[in-house]
Amino acid sequence: MHNTITKSDFLKYLQCPAYFWFWKKKPEVLTNMELNEFDKELVKNGQEVERWARKLFPSGVLVESRQSQAVVDTKQFLDEGKRVVFQATFETEGLYVMVDVLEWDKENQYWIINEVKGSTMKEKKKNEHLYDAAFQRIVLEKAGFSVGKVNLIELNKDFVKHGKISPVELLQVADITEEAKELESEILLMIDDMKRLLSKEREPVPCDCIYESRSNHCPAFNYLYPEIPDYSVHDIVRIGSSKKKLEALVEGDYCLIEDVPEDFKLSKYQRNHVDVTQTKIPIIKTTEIKSELEKLEYPLYFLDYETFPTAIPIYDGCKPYQQVPFQYSLHIQKEPYSELEHYEFIEIDEKSHPMKALALSLMERMGREGSVIVWNKKFEGKCHEDIAELIPEYVEVFHNYNRRLFDLMEIFSKNLYTHHDFRGSYSIKKILPVLVPELSYKDLNVSDGSMAMNAWKTMMFETEEQKEKDQIKNDLLKYCELDTLAMVRIFEALEKL
């Protein structure tokens, strides 16, 4: 399908027209095409949501083939009078789409496109979703089908699992027909431009990603801009929200952070990032750091959770994509310079609700007084709120934990301590090598939250081998323990300032 434009191709064009050309003509130069653990799980979640959406249409038939055969099979189903077709596939005028759920409206005598997404109605409808569905509508109209309605099917953000799941309650359907129609003229121009690009053998000129922050660079960026190093002005903290500043830097031929002029207007945090990168002299506001640490009350509880979110809730009392804590690590220091105590918990019983067992275990270790030290209190605080909601009799206990939270990350996110080797990041994995170089995540089998999430999923639901289960459990315990030990050692390093 080298010269056919698919829906997936169109979405790549939306990201960057040059990326689209290289994807079709020279894919070997693209980088960052491997999905990470988190993105792989998102794909699986999307597929699961689609399977649930099909339950809304019990008479539907599934096109199981792909590419040109899928077009043939779709036509056969429609010729046979099938009126709900999953993965209905069409090709016309060099365009190719697969419709998640194609539905015939007998009363109005038109077809309905139902686009299924693994997102929730809590999220603002993403432009990509609208363009995606609108592109499908255009292709079907070109193929001779009258499309009277376009729906977006997503997860209901307010759904809470209690026993057997009803797809009608789990999912919500939004009519996006008018939004799709409004995009028609714009997308038709894009289709013409995609066909024009495909007709050219010459590589496109460098793309506009040069004016985007690092996280928004397309996979063709490194090939098109080999002179841009892997750490540049595109990595300045929050530069993605300051596009005019980034554009001015690029147009001024300031590539390296070291090149940024002293009088170039930046935000306070951006200027701090640039200054420490240029001078290699850390910014350490000792007085302010000590003032923050003086707010702590002993005993100190260094706490970290590992969580498992799923699109379709597994456990009663949970919502779509709710972060379900299945593990904690807790280091306790009862008084200054006293010996550390370490406690931990991990759910290994697939029949148990991990949040309930975790809550009981944690309450045995946590007292009602003393600071609860975390790294990103928004995350841990939300875990406590969810546990309180799930188990109302513990509401005051977990609200008490939240009132005592101290976010160690804020020492760094507020730029009280800024170092050039942080590279503008507040991640504990960037801070730790600078302040506590003897500790490292590098040799762990599980070394980040996404890996922990997927490892626990494998241990609980995907393997029967006890040896493998034991190994995963051990790996998870080591990882989570290092998270809280890292906080302890960073805290100790700050105390010595």
Q: What percent of the chain has pLDDT over 70?
A: 98
Domain-located, residue 483: yes
Q: What is the pLDDT of residues 304-356, one digit of tens each?
A: 999 999 999 999 999 999 999 999 999 999 999 999 999 999 999 988 999 99
| 339 in the same domain as 191 | no
Question: Predicted confidence band at 1 (pLDDT cuts at 50, 70, 90)?
Answer: low
Q: Is the pTM of this model over 0.85?
A: yes
Residue 2 has pLDDT above 90, yes or no: no
Rounded to the nearest integer, the mean pLDDT of the chain is 95
Distance CA 322, CA 325 (A): 9
Cβ atoms of 387 and 359 closer than 8 Å: yes
Residue 343: per-residue pLDDT? 98
Domain-located, residue 237: no
Token pair of 26, please?
């020279």
Residue 121 has pLDDT above 70, yes or no: no
**Looking at 176, 198, 220, which one is the last position of a domain?**
198
**Looking at 166, 198, 230, which one is the last position of a domain?**
198
284 strand-pairing partners: 417
| 124 in the same domain as 23 | yes
| 480 in the same domain as 359 | yes
**Looking at 180, 198, 216, which one is the last position of a domain?**
198
Distance CA 6, CA 1 (A): 9
Q: What is the pLDDT of residues 448-489, one digit of tens each?
A: 999 999 999 999 999 999 999 999 999 999 999 999 999 999
Residue 123 has pLDDT above 70, yes or no: no
| 153 in the same domain as 50 | yes
Identify the residue with better confidence: 236 or 350: 236
Domain-located, residue 459: yes
How many separate domains does the chain show? 2
| 336 in the same domain as 192 | no
Distance CA 43, CA 49 (A): 10
Residue 333: per-residue pLDDT? 98
Listed residue (27, 364, 16, 37) closest to 217, CA to CA: 16
| 42 in the same domain as 172 | yes
| 309 in the same domain as 182 | no
Distance CA 320, CA 49 (A): 10
Question: Predicted confidence band at 381 (pLDDT cuts at 50, 70, 90)?
Answer: very high
Token pair of 180, please?
């799709």
Q: What percent of the chain has pLDDT over 90?
A: 93
| 302 in the same domain as 188 | no
Residue 125 has pLDDT above 70, yes or no: no
Domain-located, residue 478: yes
User: Rounded to the nearest 5°, which phi and psi values hold at 354?
Assistant: -60, -35
Tokens 């290289």 label which residue? 22
Listed residue (382, 369, 428, 371) closest to 405, CA to CA: 371
How many Cβ atoms from other residues are within 10 Å of residue 326's Cβ?
Answer: 25
Tokens 């000590």 label which residue? 290
DSSP string, 462-489: I---HHHHHHHHHHHHHHHHHHHHHHHH
377: domain CATH number? Answer: 3.30.420.10
User: Rounded to the nearest 5°, which phi and psi values hold at 455?
Assistant: -65, -45
**Structural domain that includes position 92:** 5-198
Question: Predicted confidence band at 36 (pLDDT cuts at 50, 70, 90)?
Answer: confident
Distance CA 300, CA 337 (A): 11
Domain-located, residue 267: no
157: domain CATH number? Answer: 3.90.320
Identify the residue with better confidence: 440 or 40: 440
| 313 in the same domain as 174 | no
Distance CA 131, CA 47 (A): 20
| 307 in the same domain as 179 | no
Domain-located, residue 451: yes
Residue 205: per-residue pLDDT? 84
Question: Predicted confidence band at 41 (pLDDT cuts at 50, 70, 90)?
Answer: confident
Question: Predicted confidence band at 40 (pLDDT cuts at 50, 70, 90)?
Answer: confident
Give the distance from CA 22 to its chain's centroid.
25
Per-residue pLDDT, averaged over 423-438, amounts to 97
Domain-located, residue 118: yes
DSSP code of residue 461: I
Question: Predicted confidence band at 234 (pLDDT cuts at 50, 70, 90)?
Answer: very high
Residue 32: per-residue pLDDT? 84
Residue 128: per-residue pLDDT? 85
| 167 in the same domain as 67 | yes
Cβ atoms of 134 and 187 closer than 8 Å: yes
Distance CA 70, CA 61 (A): 13
Token pair of 127, please?
């432009």
Domain-located, residue 279: no
Residue 267 has pLDDT above 60, yes or no: yes
Per-residue pLDDT, averaged over 185-211, amounts to 95
Question: Predicted confidence band at 280 (pLDDT cuts at 50, 70, 90)?
Answer: very high
Distance CA 222, CA 422 (A): 23
Residue 3: per-residue pLDDT? 82
Residue 206: per-residue pLDDT? 87
DSSP H/E element including 194? helix 184-198
| 303 in the same domain as 181 | no
